[in-house]
Amino acid sequence: MNPVYPRRLQIVVLAAGFSSRLGSPKPLARVHGVSLLRRTLKVASSFGAKRIIVVAPRNAARYRIEAREMKVRWAVNPQPAQGLSSSVHRGIAAARHASAILLLPVDLIHLTSRDLFKLVRRWHSAPRRLIARRINLSGAIPVILPHWLFARAAALAGDVGLRELIGQLPADSRALVELPSAAWDVDTPQDLRHARRQFRPAAD
């Protein structure tokens, strides 16, 4: 086990999104020949996790191809149109015995393992706190949910529920971390075209 990756932390990649704004499955979108799903798994696997949970839609044979040779456990979200929270529910169910879950979206094209490790290191020093990426005065995913918040997160609905949960927590129950490489996601065809023009693999 890689010493930077605590055994009791489970990584969950959220890859079942409806991708309505992009118009095609976001995890399968390719930038310089590599799908967003495979790139995200490579960043996540750099920690030495025993197995990464991937929340995917039904009939995800192409997703499995993209995850070949990766240590992946699959969790099916049968209702991805219900928003991000539906994938969070499935991820929590699949990782219910973990001490904490690192929820990782699939579309952060510039995300580096160095920035992701900032979250892990911060949680390791305060395992009872929720640790999230800072956005202004609040936070968003990537986020580490400690076990005591699993039930509250599983009761969320829609796409914005997780951010609302982060914002509602008292200051002593959360910590926000600057993650510069997580500042831009691939959400629209314009984003994808820009990523294909501008993306350069960042050094980890």
Rounded to whole angstroms, the Cα distance separating 123 from 117 reads 10
Q: Is the peptide bond before 105 cis (omega within 30 degrees of 0)?
A: no
Residue 35, φ and ψ in degrees, nearest 5: -70, 155
Rounded to whole angstroms, the Cα distance separating 49 from 184 reads 25
pLDDT given for residue 7 in this prediction: 61
* More confident: 1 or 9: 9
Rounded to whole angstroms, the Cα distance separating 89 from 92 reads 5
* 3.30.70.20, 2.60.40.420, 3.90.550.10, 3.20.110.10: CATH of 9-198: 3.90.550.10
- Structure tokens given for 62: 């192409």
Question: Would the CA dihedral through 31, 116, 75, 165 be positive or negative?
Answer: negative
> What's the mean per-residue pLDDT of the chain?
87
Residue 44, φ and ψ in degrees, nearest 5: -65, -35
Which of 30-34, 47-51, 120-124 bottoms out in mean pLDDT, i.e. has the lowest? 47-51
Residue 94, φ and ψ in degrees, nearest 5: -70, -25
- pTM for the structure as a whole: 0.89
Rounded to whole angstroms, the Cα distance separating 184 from 47 reads 22
Give the DSSP letter of residue 178.
-
Rounded to whole angstroms, the Cα distance separating 140 from 203 reads 24
What value does the mean pLDDT take over residues 74-86? 88
Rounded to whole angstroms, the Cα distance separating 90 from 105 reads 14
Does position 203 have pLDDT exceeding 70, yes or no? no
Secondary structure element (H or E) that encloses residue 119, with its range:
helix 113-125
What 3 state SS string does 126-137 have? CCCCEEEEEECC
